[in-house]
Structure 1
């Protein structure tokens, strides 16, 4: 723009010089200066002011939330890096080249709580042991836990569950008759009493002082001359991140074992898991429900699937009510599956050398949500109620 203006001024001056040179008399310098100034001023006034272009602004594009890819595995042909008991990819596929580690964990006395290491388990089996109490059998395969417990004694059902999942068992001894049955079925796959650092007390010896280390349990078993610590065939379970069709609303479920012994689960949409609550009884005998945390993580327990297994429970020592046989082998047992805030009334089938499988009335597999699973075992005649819309309870009945 400035170069163009300068050229116009020079042209005007040149024309004026030609005109003046044609005159007979010499021009007056003052008049010539005034004339030039006027011409330049007129030319400058005539040049339009440039209108600035608008500043370009970028409009942000809307952020698109990626649709999670569907995860679907089972009941067989699991990839080498996928845990067949959770449907999840493991960070180190080599960890699956062993037997699952299964640990007995106390829930009573209340001093045993909060438990250690349950949030690391792939599956937790939860069952009645008599006199209003229950106990857990926690299974570790896709990851280890440095502390699991408190470790307590074995029960008859343990020998069948450990066989089904090809595991090794960590326990704090058992009733003599029960111990003999467990050893008869599992042999050297049982680790009991003090075997530090695999299984040892964390201080003065009490009924809730022993804890297990699952990686050390694996090492201890693998060192035995009779060990067969190779990858097991664990086909049978099915996992799909997409919920099955149907189902009933079930944002809350409680397994009622007895007075002040309730396992309550509330579905958390943010995490996609059912969070665990448990009774806390004060000095006056009044009970309130509090979050059940893992003492290792300090966080509330959360599980992707809650399953109720209905089975025949046989009491073997009458009114003493401390030795029971659970008959869970068969084809048409009833089961309830809670996942994604829904409940599915299905069937289960099991034999004593493969994991429990879930099927519908047409014998088609029913999928669990990929993740960890908590399984409650209860009697065939246990009562199922929906106290309020979506609020479910199963009350233990034996037999």
Structure 2
């Protein structure tokens, strides 16, 4: 009987335990949902093209693009060479002066050297060249009507007298006067940054310039001025805005490589030879006729050399403040290679252009 009683009690306990277990609801596992993360797409980089070269820079990378241009009248005689920072200039104009010589009128904007020189006096054509670029125009004296024309452009006119208090000009002790006048370009640019706008674009640029797409292969050119010969030969050069060596035109003057201070040969992505009639009516008692290229409200033939190719076109200019415009013979915009440009203003008929093509062109 005792055994039977124990068995009954055991069965009752098991039934009670089973009943309790059946009454307990299963507790679901607690899980935490992953937070929703919104990934913002990376903004597309914005590039800004330098107006005088077409070289593109990441927005905000080149602070000079928001600053005014600086132009200067630079000596180009044997005594004035080597000049400073010619390869930093966006555009360099070769202009005729008295007794068959030339002077240079570079325009610096996308790159601004610390110093520039040697600075020489203003000439009659200069005002109509620098007018579209705004900014600062530096020179050292000159005839009264030439200085008056320069002031009429509205640019900041800068010379030793106007900058006396700013201490931006100095005389280089290793050079003899008058080829020893230099100025601090970056300081000059900063002084007048609030007064002048950035330069307006004149020439247009393309990765495939018009001379390459429409012209013929060339290996060099020369311009024989009455008392000077400028030669450009096809080669390669390291430009400040590009890492690898690039196709370039290398300048020789009077049989000697034209080098800037530091030893680098003058190099250009584009060479434009403009055929320009010159006015010889202004006669200096000592030096004779002082030529003035007739640019304003005028036009003529342009010979354009880019990336090893040559294309004949035309140039035109409206009022003094209007830029020089290049066009193909069919009237389309003539685009240059991206990079710096030298403009040889050949006075016709006194100067002669010779072009060396890679292969003879048959009509």
Identify if the C-alpha distance between structure 1 residues 178 and 354 changes in structure 2 by more than 3 Å, giving closer, same or farther.
closer
- Paired with 1:375 and 1:391, the residues of 2 have a C-alpha distance of 25
Instruction: Please point out which of 128, 141, 150 is paired with 1:182.
Output: 150
Q: How many residues align?
A: 296
Q: Secondary structure at the match of 2:56?
A: coil
8 Å Cα contact 2:301/2:315 also seen in 1: yes
8 Å Cα contact 1:140/1:214 also seen in 2: no
Identify if the C-alpha distance between structure 1 residues 159 and 80 changes in structure 2 by more than 3 Å, giving closer, same or farther.
farther
Larger Rg: 1 or 2?
A: 1
1:169 offset after TM fit, Å?
0.3
Q: Which has the higher contact order (CA 8 A, sep 6+)?
A: 2
Q: Secondary structure at the match of 2:84?
A: coil
Instruction: Please point out which of 242, 251, 254 is paired with 2:208.
Output: 242
The aligned residue for residue 57 of structure 1 is none
8 Å Cα contact 1:103/1:212 also seen in 2: no
8 Å Cα contact 1:165/1:354 also seen in 2: no
Counterpart mapping for 1:76-115 below 5 A: 81-90=48-57, 92-108=61-77, 110-115=78-83
Identify if the C-alpha distance between structure 1 residues 336 and 209 changes in structure 2 by more than 3 Å, giving closer, same or farther.
same
Which structure 1 segments of 5+ residues have no match?
1-78, 280-288, 393-399
Counterpart mapping for 1:207-356 below 5 A: 207-222=178-193, 228-232=195-199, 234-244=200-210, 245-259=213-227, 261-269=228-236, 271-279=246-254, 289-295=255-261, 297-318=262-283, 320-330=287-297, 332-351=299-318, 352-356=320-324
4+ aligned runs moved over 4 Å, structure 1: 382-392
**Two-structure CA RMSD over aligned residues (Å):** 2.5
Identify if the C-alpha distance between structure 1 residues 349 and 298 changes in structure 2 by more than 3 Å, giving closer, same or farther.
same
8 Å Cα contact 2:70/2:185 also seen in 1: yes
Identify if the C-alpha distance between structure 1 residues 380 and 221 changes in structure 2 by more than 3 Å, giving closer, same or farther.
same
> Deviations along 1:138-170, whole A, 9 cap, x unmatched?
100001011211110011111111112223200
